[in-house]
Structure formats: structure tokens, C-alpha cells
Amino acid sequence: MSVTVEQEAYEMPADNRKVMLKMDDVHLHSSGVFSNVYKGNLREPYEKKIAIKKSWPEKGERNFEFIFLTGRERSKHKNIIQMIFAFSHSYDTKVCESYVFDFMPNTLAEVIRQKLTDIDIRLYTWQMFAGLKYLEEHKVVHRDLKPVNILVDHDIAHLKISDFGSAKIIVKGKSNNFYQVTRFYRPPELLLKAMEYNSTVDAWSAGCILAEMVKRHVVFPGRDSAHQMKLYCRCFGAPTEAEIKAMKGEKLEQDLWKFTKGCGLQRLVTDVTPDQLQFLKRILVYSPEKRLRGKQLLQDDFFRSLFKSGATRHNGQKISDVITSADYKRACENEDASACRLAQLAKADSKDQGIPNCEKSNSYENINVRRSTLIPREQKMAREIKSKEDNSDDRRLGSSEDRKSEDEAKKKRSNEMVSNGKRNDSNKNGTTKKSVIKSIMQFTSRHQQE
């Protein structure tokens, strides 16, 4: 029997209006270093499936993700995840914050492994770029766009961009951290350590995701940053001097200039259709400002099949139920002049503006305790370890000399292991013989008893 959970919460956008949530069938859905996600059914104040993201923010720290997800000073967009309720609890000196969202049953990473139809590929691509156009209008760069950060309800083909933990308001002329975006989807300018960039980095990531939808596997699986750039050069050829200048990064490593001509995307994505290939070639280009995106992309002929009268998916669902005429009209509009209010808000709200504590009733945390969120001290340690792991390849393999030294060190360790193995062989042989004899005797004894 499902237990009904009552929880006082604040309704979002943050207008400080308290409501009493009634939920049931609340259980752990997924867990990670930074947060846990619970799944359940909301019964009051209205009915819908929900996801609850539970995390432990550092005291006095209020990141941009929270400000963005609350929906303050911006209109909603159907292809961007939106917080609908929030509540928090105090535990000693720590605060646990919980954010409530509409539940989306899949990630794009999960459905990509299926063979998506051509219509579904175009449908998800259009929604993904519609969400990115909205972010660009608000001066927001996601900086970690990848299939696991894109939520979908595959039954109705609805897509939402999520996980804004790396997102940032980009101000022209100000430098930014180049170590962003998961490596397989990282644009070449960040691999060249550019510190001045904009929403075009998300366009590159989205292009890689589109290619992955066609191939059903990662297209550029680089082992480290240097290898990632090598994969791009193999595919597209080395960037020209003009393209390197346009990327505003460091110089290209000397050994990459040999790729005067790339093998082409069609060699890596063998199932790509001619029009898919031509479309990808207009997105995955070295010069950031030449990447197809925004209104121009959403009106491209590549999506013509979606907007034919009576167009349907493989299951008979009408495309017009997924992308309405209002959605298309909004996508074709020019930049929203009021969007800059979000940037002003992010700047003004640099101090901690957490969610006020809510009274606990029968808290959802008691429903399922099998993998609770890491306690604050453990979570901080886990974050530090993950940060070190994420940065290790770029710090250790920052130059060709470093990589050469690393290779020599590996070879030396390998030789030492071989020589040690030879010295230990004689000792191991004696132990091994004894264990084998013992096993044979045990087996013989059991056999005789039977």
C-alpha cells in the first residue's frame, strides 16, 4: 500500500506562496555525487507525475542553476526544465534543499540506443535547438549539453534540456573557464583553451548529439583533450589559420597540421542520409559564428517533413501535438528584449537566497532509506575527488612533451611489473601447486561421500 506524504513547500517561480503538497509512491529514482532524484505522484494541489531533486548546497553559496530553475524574471519554455515547487529542511548546521519538477521518464541517452526513426530524429533535434535559442536569448550558455542531460518522454516525443549546473550568463568581452563541456561534446575552441566564447559552444554539442542519434553511438570518443582535437582533425581536417583565429584559442599542435583533409562525417556516421549530412556540415564547423543555430536553423528545409499537413510519428501521433503552431511562431520570432532581466537578476543575487525552511510533516525521506543522499562531509569529499578526476587528463596531458613523459613512465612501470613477475614466479609456483593438490583432494572426498 502506497503511503501518502504531506510536505509544505513554496510554489515556483519564487513568489513565497506556501502550498501543502500531497504525494504518494515516492521512491528513489537515481543518485549521484551532487544529488539524489526521487520519483512520485503528486496528488494535491493537482495531479501529475513528479521528480524531486534533493541536494545539500554549501552555506552562503547560491549558484546560477538555482536562480535559473526557479523561473524568476523569465517566461517559461516547454523545452527547458522548470522547477514547480521547492522546500528545504535543516539538519544541524546543514540545509537540505528539494526541488520538484515534472517527471520525464527517459533521457535522450536511453532512447538513442534504439533505432530512432528519421521523423523522431528531426523532432528531437528541432526541440533541442528551440530550447537553445531560448537560452541564447537569455544570454545563457549551458556548457554541458549531452544526451544524459536532455530529458524526453519518448511516448509523446517531448524533450526538455536539464541540468544547468555548469550554465552561466555570458557577458561579451569577459573571460570564462575553458574547461567546460563533457569531452565527447566539447567544441574545438574550448580544446584550444579559448576563454572568450558564447552560445555557439552549445550549438557544436547539439550537432554532436544529432550525429549520435543517427549513429546510435558516440561519434567522437576522445581519450583526453589532445586526442579529442585529433579526432576532429581526422574528420574535418585541421582548422585553417583564419578558423583558429575565429576560435580565439591557443595555437594548434604541430602534429595536427598533417590532417590537411579530413575523412568526412560520412565515414564515421555510415547511416547518415544526404540531407542529414549536409545539415550537420553546417553546424559542425570550426568558426563558431558560422555554426547554424537559432531562428535560421529552426526554419531550415531540413524540418520541412515535420510541418507537412497531417504529418505523424510511427505510432500515429500527430507532429502538431508535439510542435504546435504557437511553438513554431515563437521559434521564428526575434530576440526577446526583456530577456536581459535574467542577467541583471543573476548579478544582483550573488548572495545566498536559499529556500526558507518548511515545516516537515511525514517527510518523503522516510519512505525509502536504501540509498540516502550523501551526508554533507562525504558529499564534499566526493565532489573534490570527481573534480580531480575530471581535470586529470588535461593537467597531465597538456602538451606533447607531457604525453611523451607519461608514455615513458608507463613503459618503465610495465617493465618493472614484468621483472617483478619473473622474480615471484618461483614463489607462486609452490603456492599454486599446494592449492591445486588441496582442491583435488577436496573434490575426491566429496565424490566418495556421494
Q: 111-147 pLDDT, tens per residue?
A: 998 889 999 999 999 999 999 999 999 889 999 999 9
Q: What is the pLDDT of residue 325?
A: 93
Closest to 181 in 3D by CA, of 198, 202, 196, 162: 202
Cβ-proximal residues to 328 (8 Å cutoff; 6+ apart), any chain: 298, 307
Neighbours of 271 (CB within 10 A): 10
Q: What is the pLDDT of residue 70?
A: 75
**Do residues 80 and 349 lie in contact, with contact meaning Cβ atoms separated by under 8 Å?**
no
By CB neighbour count within 10 A (0-12 exposed, 13-18 middle, 19+ buried), where does 22 fall?
middle
Q: What is the pLDDT of residue 121?
A: 97
Give me the catalytic one of 25, 102, 144, 202: 144
Query: Domain spans of the chain?
Result: 106-342
* Cα(190)–Cα(263) distance, integer angstroms: 23
What is the pTM for the complete model shown?
A: 0.77
Q: What is the pLDDT of residue 345?
A: 53
Name the residue with higher pLDDT: 313 or 57. 313
Kindly tell me if the per-residue pLDDT of 207 is higher than 90.
yes
User: Phi and psi dihedrals of 67, rounded to 5?
Assistant: -60, -40
Q: What is the pLDDT of residue 295?
A: 94
The pLDDT tens digits of the residues spanning 379-436 come to: 455 555 555 544 544 444 444 434 444 455 455 555 555 455 544 554 444 444 444 4
212 secondary structure, DSSP code = H
Q: Tell how far CA 115 is from the center of its chain.
A: 21
Average confidence score pLDDT of the chain:
80
The C-alpha cell that represents 343 in the structure block: 542577467
* Cα(448)–Cα(426) distance, integer angstroms: 34
* Cα(127)–Cα(145) distance, integer angstroms: 14
Q: What is the pLDDT of residue 405?
A: 44
Cβ-proximal residues to 399 (8 Å cutoff; 6+ apart), any chain: none
Kindly tell me if the per-residue pLDDT of 450 is higher than 90.
no
163's torsion region: left (phi>0), alpha (psi -120 to 50) or beta? left
The pLDDT tens digits of the residues spanning 9-61 come to: 988 876 668 899 999 999 888 877 667 889 999 999 999 999 998 887 765 45
Q: What is the pLDDT of residue 344?
A: 61
192's torsion region: left (phi>0), alpha (psi -120 to 50) or beta? alpha
Residue environment code for 383-421, b if the CB has 16+ CB neighbours within 10 A, otherwise e: eeeeeeeeeebbeebeeeeeeeeeeeeeeeeeeeeeeee
The C-alpha cell that represents 279 in the structure block: 545539415
Cβ-proximal residues to 170 (8 Å cutoff; 6+ apart), any chain: 139, 140, 141, 176, 197, 198, 199
Name the residue with higher pLDDT: 180 or 343. 180
Closest to 187 in 3D by CA, of 168, 170, 202, 177: 202
As a whole number, mean pLDDT of residues 224-250 equals 95
DSSP string of 179-201, one letter each residue = --S-GGG--HHHHTT-S---THH
As a whole number, mean pLDDT of residues 258-282 equals 94
The pLDDT tens digits of the residues spanning 344-382 come to: 655 554 444 455 555 554 444 443 333 333 444 444 555
Neighbours of 186 (CB within 10 A): 26
Annotation marks residue 224 as catalytic:
no
Cβ-proximal residues to 58 (8 Å cutoff; 6+ apart), any chain: none
Q: What is the pLDDT of residue 423?
A: 47
**Do residues 86 and 69 lie in contact, with contact meaning Cβ atoms separated by under 8 Å?**
no
CATH superfamily of 106-342: Transferase(Phosphotransferase) domain 1 (1.10.510.10)
Share of the chain above pLDDT 70, in %: 70
**Among 15-24, 54-63, 217-226, 289-298, which stretch is predicted with the lowest mean pLDDT?**
54-63
**Do residues 180 and 168 lie in contact, with contact meaning Cβ atoms separated by under 8 Å?**
no
**Among 83-92, 158-167, 265-274, which stretch is predicted with the lowest mean pLDDT?**
83-92
* Cα(374)–Cα(126) distance, integer angstroms: 37
